[in-house]
Structure 1
């Protein structure tokens, strides 16, 4: 099942670096990018030890 809300952000992963980047909507041509609505972007959670880079606030969230 997919979300019906309008996408506002694009999520990309770096599995080797254990990092997730969340930023403005991408062009849509990257098969490894996933578009998220505002609610899902806000609720984003990642595995323990991964880092989240959030473009909008330029902050880094590290989970332990």
Structure 2
């Protein structure tokens, strides 16, 4: 599992370890969806290295 956060203004999405919850801009993803994550053209994706195995 992973948590996705994003910032429309910076056109950036970050995928990291499962967060504590309560952030309306954070979305929890299962491993399959985290691996298949795609973002709009021109956006940057930052993946936390601990998710890669």
**Quick check: TM above 0.5?**
yes
Aligned length: 50
Question: Any gaps of 5 or more consecutive residues in structure 2?
Answer: none
Instruction: Specify which structure has the higher proportion of helix.
Output: 2
Aligned residue among 36, 49, 56 for 2:29? 36
> Once superposed, which parts of structure 1, at least 4 consecutive aligned residues long, lie more than 2 Å away?
none
TM-score by length of 1: 0.75
Q: CA RMSD in A?
A: 0.9
Flag the structure with more relative contact order, 1 or 2, with Cα contacts below 8 A and sequence separation at least 6: 2
Question: Any gaps of 5 or more consecutive residues in structure 1?
Answer: 1-7, 58-64
